[in-house]
Amino acid sequence: MGVLSLLKKEVILAGLKKGERTDGRGLLEYRKVEIKTGYIGKAEGSALVRLGDTKVIAGVKIDIGTPFPDTPDMGVQIVNAELIPVASAVFEPGPPGEEDIELARVIDRGLRSAEAVDMSQLAIIPGSRVWTIFIDIYPLDHDGNLIDASGLAAMSALLDTKMPVAEVVDENITLSENKKPLPIKTRVVYVTLAKIGDYIIVDPTFEEELVADARLTFAINEDRNICGIQKGGSGSFKVKEILEAKKIALEVAEGLFEKLPPKPTSE
């Protein structure tokens, strides 16, 4: 962070003192969320999310694969994220770096801990053939809070996913023309807060992230329990700030659940 950012931080802090952010929001206000599902025809499920100016697309591809040895009758979930140069001048072309990997793993853990997708229903031939769910997350425009936007995109894409029905006859798998939704146990949302000086703000923009000391993300399931936490950045939080942030995250989550597509109804 150079001299320019230091000046920016002063300006931002002065605003926060008055309860204002540079884009006019209150400290605990979330930006406008728009979710469009079924965006990519070739994917089994997809969603494009706009969170303010941040744009993230997620695609779900389904394939048949082998299960992990210690969970022979469960499906496999693989989450990948690529911070591509298209999205921001700060992303360099090349193999996934620590930020890409952290983003993917945070989204993956939230979904996995909550059992968003019911993996136990994805076995085709238990022990040898199961459904593998690939969730690929591609931020297209970075104006801060890629985690929450990616979470909304991934969850929406899963809710949008139509998978073929597998029939097994004598160890032979045939896929019928019928499509059904993924077995979804619960929806998950992610709420990220950032700390700038002594202030906690919700849903930081790119500029706010640059001057923030640290960020804190809560993944929340429909029971309103916490199914994932990730602190990021080189700063620290007081314990009471964490507990305060947790309260705020649970409140903010309500609005995000309303934006998500509904859970598929069992037919």
The residues binding other proteins (CB under 8 A) are 2, 70-71, 98-99, 101-102, 104-105, 109, 112-114, 214, 216, 221, 224-239, 242-243, 246-247, 250
Residue closer to other proteins, measured from CB, 70 or 267? 70
Axis-axis angle for helices 98-114, 146-160 (nearest 10): 50
The C-alpha atoms of residue 203 and residue 54 are separated, in whole angstroms, by 11
Assign residue 127 a region (left: φ > 0; alpha: ψ between -120 and 50; beta: otherwise).
Answer: left
Q: Cβ of 131: how many Cβ atoms within 10 Å?
A: 24
98 or 170: CB nearest other proteins? 98
Structural tokens at position 37: 């599902």
Beta-ladder partners of 24 = none
Q: How far is the CB of 237 from other proteins (least distance, A)?
A: 5
For other proteins, the closer of residues 46 and 150 by Cβ is 150
The 8-class DSSP code of residue 266 comes to P
> What's the min distance (Å) between Cβ of 160 and other proteins?
25
Residue type at 224 in one-letter notation: R
For other proteins, the closer of residues 41 and 94 by Cβ is 94
* Least CB distance to other proteins at residue 236 (A): 4
Rounded to a whole number of angstroms, the minimum distance from the CB of residue 108 to other proteins is: 10
